[in-house]
Amino acid sequence: MAYHAEETRRRILGAATDEFSARGLAGARVDRIAAAAGCSKERIYANFGDKESLFTTVLNRSFSELGAAVARTSAPGSGVDSVADFAVAVFDHFVDNPANQRLLSWARLEDTHDWQASFAVLASVREASTAELLRLSTGTTRWSLDDVFVLVLSIATAWSLLPRVDGAAGVVPDVDEQREIVHGAVARLLV
C-alpha cells in the first residue's frame, strides 16, 4: 500500500511541476494536475491540502534540487575548482531543469507565495552555496558570500529572462557558448 501511495505522490508532484511551471499558481488547475497524474482531485487534496500548499511543495522541491546540485559541486572529482566553475554548475542545473527556474519566476511574478513556508529550504540552499563559495573564493573578493551567490545565480540564469535578443525565431541557443560566457563573466567579475 505504501508503494502505491508514494507512487501516486510522485506522479502528482511531477504533474504539478509541469502545470505550475507552465501556468503559474493562478493559471494552474487542480483538475488538469489530477488528469495528468492519473488520480482524483480528492487524492491531491488528501496529500497536499489546497492548491497553494501543493505549489509550495513543488517550489520547495525545486529549491532542494538546486541545493543538491550545489552540494554535488563539492564532491571529489566534480571538476569545480573556482567560483566560475560553480556558476557553470548552477547554469547546467537550470539547463537540465528549466521548470525549476520557471517556478521561481512565477512565484516572484504572482507575488502571492508565502515565502516563510519556503524559508527553511532556502536557508539550507543558501548555506550550502555560501559554504561552497567560501571554499572556492577565499580571498578573491571583498563582497559578501551572499552578494557573490546572488550575482552568480543571476549570471547563470540570465538567458531565462531574455533568451533570444537577436530575434532569430526557432534558433536553438548554443548552450556550450552560453556556458563559456557564464564561466568567463564570473571569472572576470571576481578579478
Q: Where are the alpha helices (DSSP H) in 28-144?
A: 30-37, 41-48, 51-72, 83-96, 98-110, 119-137
Q: Structural domain boundaries of the chain? A: 51-189
- Residues in the chain, pLDDT under 50: 1
What number of other Cβ atoms are within 10 A of residue 190's Cβ?
17
Q: What is the pLDDT of residue 1?
A: 46
What is the C-alpha separation between 17 and 29, in angstroms, rounded? 12
- Are the beta carbons of 160 and 105 closer than 8 angstroms? yes
- Are the beta carbons of 83 and 186 closer than 8 angstroms? yes
pTM: 0.82
pLDDT in tens, 70-106: 777 766 666 677 888 888 888 998 889 989 989 988 9
Q: What is the pLDDT of residue 78?
A: 67
Q: What is the pLDDT of residue 76?
A: 65
51-189 has which CATH code?
1.10.357.10
Report the b/e string of 123-148 with b at 16+ CB within 10 A. Answer: eebbebbbebbeebbeeebeeebeeb
Q: What is the pLDDT of residue 133?
A: 75
- Are the beta carbons of 74 and 136 closer than 8 angstroms? no
